[in-house]
Amino acid sequence: MIEVVGLSKRYGPKTAVDGLSFTVEPGVVTGFLGPNGAGKTTTMRMLVGLGSPTSGFTRVNGKPYRAHRAPLREIGVLLDARAVHPGRSARDHLLALGATHGISGRRVDEVLEVVGLTEVARRRAGAFSLGMGQRLGIAVALLGDPRTVVLDEPVNGLDPDGIRWIRHLLKDLAAEGRTVFVSSHLMSEMALTAEHLIVVGRGKLVADVPMAELIASVERGVHVRSPRSRELVEVLRGDGVRISSVTSDVLDVTGLSTEDIGTRALQAGIPLFELIPQKASLEDAYAELTRDVVEYQGAATSLGEAA
């Protein structure tokens, strides 16, 4: 379990994390989302003792990170996969870390196999591709067989097969009862992996909500096709109902359920060729939720002509 209580971090006049509180429960994959500059990485660094909070505290499995006698066995972390001596082999890197916790060479070989690096285990890490380096970072996080796993952008640099592999790995870890906390900017992948979401913006908590509940909160209306769409508009009009015309026979209707639309059309004798509820995506829900807390926004502009 991860506990974050009243956590704040200031760098001079800049507040990176502002009174943040949340709990990450075991047994589910919890996604950690937020715009650039939202305070996600700063929070993760303080969680594992790489930064000291201005106020508040964090606990991992009931204790501050530094209070654990063997932290690698409690929490596995991937914050920067490049944090490895480039001249050291993958296996030697893991052996060196394992030696600090009494972790055997057998366990090192096990995690190398899990992450798919057995064949290149004796190759210098400095020669690794971005994806291979990411796999080594994940191996480090798994080395101590920890009860809690924290990964920052774990799919960075992975090919499609690797992305699918990490997705199943995270779900398997959660199914074993472990705490799994993952930060990512890939909304499509997070939608396939996480069951619960912690969303932050400008250092503050924006949402602590199940994935399904967040997506369901975004209304996307109903797609309706009828040869008598103009008559249908008059039948459907009412308070809180928004209707937009897509083509001459296709409408997008918000504010009425498929049942309401179908019933009204039947009563008016208007045939319907399509009646399809439009579901929001995680990207839709996330964009709506964080609209007011995005710190770094690009301007919509044309690059077709030079100034």
Q: What is the mean pLDDT of each run of 10 residues along the chain (307 residues)?
A: 96 94 97 92 94 95 94 93 89 95 96 96 93 94 96 91 94 97 91 95 94 83 92 92 88 91 95 89 85 67 46
d(C-alpha 16, C-alpha 42), whole Å:
7
> What pLDDT score was predicted for residue 299?
57
d(C-alpha 40, C-alpha 17), whole Å:
8
229 contacts: CB under 8 Å, gap ≥ 6: 245, 248, 249, 250, 251
Closest by CA position to 205, among listed 63, 54, 24, 64: 24
**CB-CB neighbours of 224 under 10 Å:** 26
Side-chain-side CA neighbours of residue 149 (13 Å) = 31
2, 46 Cβ separation under 8 angstroms: no
Order of strands, sheet of 55-60, starting from the edge strand that comes earlier in the sequence? 14-24, 2-11, 55-60
Burial letters 155-190, b for 16+ CB under 10 A, else e: bbbbeeebbebbbebbbebbeeebbbbbbbeebebb
13, 19 Cβ separation under 8 angstroms: no
> What pLDDT score was predicted for residue 44?
95
CATH 3.30.70 residue ranges of the chain are 222-279
Burial (CB < 10 A; 0-12, 13-18, 19+), residue 66, is exposed
CATH, range 222-279: 3.30.70
Helix (H) or strand (E) run with residue 150 in it: strand 148-152
Do the strands 2-11 and 14-24 form a parallel or antiparallel pair, or are they unpaired? antiparallel
d(C-alpha 149, C-alpha 286), whole Å:
24
> What pLDDT score was predicted for residue 303?
46
Structure-block tokens of residue 248:
């001459």
CATH 3.40.50.300 residue ranges of the chain are 2-74+146-216
**What is the CATH class of 2-74+146-216?**
alpha beta
Backbone angles phi, psi at 206, to 5 degrees: -100, -40
Over the Cα atoms of the chain, what is R_g? 24
Helix axes 130-142, 90-99, angle to 10 degrees: 20
38 contacts: CB under 8 Å, gap ≥ 6: 200, 201, 202, 203, 293, 295
d(C-alpha 246, C-alpha 284), whole Å:
20
> What pLDDT score was predicted for residue 145?
96
> What pLDDT score was predicted for residue 297?
63
